[in-house]
Amino acid sequence: MLPLYGPLRDLNLLSVVLRMLLSCACGTLVGLERSAKNRPAGFRTHTLVCMGAAVAALTGLYLYLGPGLPADITRISAQVISGLGFIGAGTIIVTKKMDIKGLTTAAGLWVTGIIGLAIGSGYYEGGIIGTGLILVTETWLGTLSSRIQKRPLFILRVHYREKTSLDQVLRTCKDAKMNIVNLQIRMVNGGEEPLYRADITLRGTTKPGVLLSKVEHMPGIEAAAEM
């Protein structure tokens, strides 16, 4: 570690003020990038998370070094890391097309909290370098990720009466190198020969029209359509 920060690693008023201001700055920098992209958690949320984690780390240090209580200085920090998971979960949304939104924001909140713990503990180098790497990840790597072509999802709706017919459809999807992301089955109407409807969420390289033409001509399939 750099000797420049040696005196500032002690628990005194100057180091506490520096750690709080630095945690505020690092949280704001990460949050501004999220706010610019209109994400659920903006710079205020990231700033509060980072400062709160820094205060938690400082509290653990104070209880250990100040009153001299038999306290575990890492226990509070461990609880902060666990609690950040609940905050991040509130930003994750699963759309109707089974796409996951907000996962990067949740991960950003979690790692921002850890940055706050590092700064609050006096590990300035780790907090500053970590903040820079977070910004690089969310900006440059985010642009790189958007350029990667992702295979789209589509839903194949099939009406059938016998379970063997659905088994044949699923087997055809797998033979076409399609990944089955989700499968929902419900009874449309009862009677002596009940009619079932299956919504199969698929992802793959095969065009929906090609797969649909194969499925709709299978024996036992009453109807098939792309949703």
Of 42, 46, 26, 23, residue with least CA distance to 34: 42
Domain ranges of the chain: 3-147, 153-226
pLDDT at 70: 66
Whole-prediction pTM: 0.61
Of 51, 112, 102, residue with least CA distance to 81: 112
pLDDT at 46: 83
Q: What is the C-alpha separation between 82 and 62, in angstroms, rounded?
A: 21
Can you tell me the mean pLDDT for 206-223? 81
**Helix or strand or coil: residue 15?**
helix
> What are residue 226's DSSP bridge partners?
156
pLDDT-based confidence at residue 94 (cuts at 50, 70, 90): low
pLDDT at 18: 87
Q: Between vectors from CA 126 to CA 137 and to CA 116, what angle results, nearest 5°?
A: 85
pLDDT at 151 over 70: no
Architecture of domain 153-226: 2-Layer Sandwich (3.30)
Q: Between vectors from CA 50 to CA 49 and to CA 51, what angle results, nearest 5°?
A: 95
Model pLDDT for residues 1-56, shown as the tens digit of each residue: 555 556 677 777 888 888 899 888 888 888 887 777 777 667 788 888 888 888 88
Q: What is the CA radius of gyration of the chain?
A: 26
pLDDT at 4: 55
pLDDT-based confidence at residue 99 (cuts at 50, 70, 90): low
Cβ(166)–Cβ(194) below 8 Å: no
pLDDT at 93: 66
pLDDT at 97: 56
pLDDT at 72 over 60: yes
Model pLDDT for residues 157-214, shown as the tens digit of each residue: 888 888 888 888 888 888 888 888 888 888 888 667 788 888 888 887 777 777 888 8
Exposure string for 33-43, b = 16+ CB within 10 A, e = fewer: bbbeeebebbb
CA distances from 51 to 42, 117, 173 (A): 14, 9, 50
